[in-house]
Amino acid sequence: MRNDMFRPILATIFVCFLLTLSVSAFASETRLEKIMPEGGTAVLTFAADPLLTMTETPFTVELTGGTGKFLADAAISLRLVMPAMAMPLNNPKALWQNDTYHGQAIFTMAGEWNAIMLIKRPGYDLVDLTFELGEVLMK
């Protein structure tokens, strides 16, 4: 009889635990979006949330023009900077593959970070977009 009393409570706790695991498994990326000056969007996605120091973090960049088509002719690099202090250069490149640009980033210190995306396309001016990444945590 005593076990019958606790079964609904244990079942509820177990279901909540499973839901927490499933939500965290799908919510582990940092996605930021900016409108480009000539139209279209730039989406920067890191494969981690939260972002951690001294960890290779894959990232992707999706560029679309004003018509919604993917832009495959750009040379893209990031400048990872801490606005509060001078840091050594941290400029990962992004290479085109399967409708997206792919790269690897490493954050060397805990604190607030920005990513300045440099986009160069043939026949267009250089575009730089600043993404505020927020707090990068100690590993």
Strand partners, 132: 114
Number of separate domains in the chain: 1
Per-residue pLDDT in tens (0 to 9) along the chain, 139 residues: 556 665 655 455 554 444 444 444 455 999 999 999 989 999 999 999 999 999 999 999 999 999 999 999 999 999 999 999 999 999 999 999 988 999 999 999 999 999 999 999 999 999 999 999 999 999 9
Rounded CA gap, 88 and 50, in Å? 22
14 domain-assigned: no
Does residue 71 belong to any structural domain of this protein? Answer: yes
Pairing of strands 75-81, 57-64: unpaired
Report in angstroms the alpha-carbon separations of 91 from 21, 39, 100, 106, 107.
34, 25, 18, 10, 11
Note whether residue 88 is domain-resident: yes
Residue 32 placed within a domain: yes
In a domain, 13, yes or no: no
In a domain, 100, yes or no: yes
HEC profile of 41-64: EEEEEECCCCCEECCCEEEEEEEE
Looking up residue 54, the CATH number of its domain turns out to be 2.60.40.1930
- Residue 66 sits in which domain range? 28-136
pTM greater than the 0.85 cutoff: no
For residue 128, is it within any domain?
yes
Among all chains, which residue has been given the structure tokens 């210190």? Answer: 109
